[in-house]
Amino acid sequence: MTRPKGTLIRNPTITRINHWITAACFVLLTLSGLAMFHPLLFWLSNLFGGGQWTRAIHPWIGLVLVVSYAGMIVQFWRDNLWTKTDLEWTLAIGRVLANEEESVPEVGRFNAGQKFVFWSMALLIPVLLFTGILIWDYYFETLTSVGTQRAALLIHSLAAIAAIIIWVIHVYAAIWVRGSMRAMTQGYVTPGWAWRHHRKWFRALAATGSPGPEPHVDDNKTRK
């Protein structure tokens, strides 16, 4: 797809594919996990062909998610490092929510909210992987005790609930900030969007004359 003239590349094709594979896996894991979480939600197992299929496919989707999110980490870990600007941005979150970003500290490619989602998932997914392996009866039932499995199941469930809440916040924010969904579906944003929401990132592109994506922006360096 050809982007409109004058727009900026926010997410290359490979990034968007990686993102949507991760998103699809997360949705499927949420649905299949909820089906096994409580009897009232067991009807969701029909989406996967029944209870046995749901139980069988859930951990394999989880492995795909781990590999896919590892790809996201490789691409974005440096742009998601925490900086002093992020703390200032967080303290001004009220103005961000009120769409009064002119007086909010400038941010690079990702703001503090996006970094929170990134690192929270980077922490929770390994927890879900490790605890998921401990309760994967088909392969590991004989290697773990009942007490260990019960503890792992509790931690797995709590981590999953936390991940779902963070995912909901992520989706809501993407819809709330107009133009953000297009960045991940079509890959581009307008200069006005970049200037308003990620001004330091925009300045980096302008300085290099590149339409994006740009090299890592060091948010700790203040603009002269």
| Annotated catalytic residue 198 | no
Beta strands 188-189 and 8-9 are antiparallel
In the chain the domains, ranked by start, together with CATH numbers, are: 14-180 (1.20.950.20)
The answer to whether the CB of 111 falls within 8 A of the CB of 81 is: no
The answer to whether the CB of 11 falls within 8 A of the CB of 174 is: no
Exactly one of 19, 58, 156, 170 is catalytic; which is it?
A: 170
Closest of 24, 20, 31 to residue 53, by C-alpha: 31
How far is the C-alpha of 111 from the C-alpha of 113, rounded, in Å?
A: 6
HSE (side-chain half, CA atoms, 13 Å) at 33: 23
For residue 189, the surrounding DSSP H or E stretch is: strand 188-189
Task: Specify the pTM.
Answer: 0.87
**pLDDT per position in the chain (224 positions), as tens?**
577 888 999 999 999 999 999 999 999 999 999 999 999 999 999 999 999 999 999 999 999 999 999 999 999 999 999 998 899 999 988 888 777 777 788 899 999 999 999 999 999 999 999 999 999 988 887 888 999 999 999 999 999 999 999 999 999 999 988 889 999 999 999 999 999 999 999 998 988 877 766 545 555 554 43
Closest of 81, 103, 83 to residue 92, by C-alpha: 103
The answer to whether the CB of 83 falls within 8 A of the CB of 113 is: no
Chain-centroid distance of CA 182 in Å reads 16
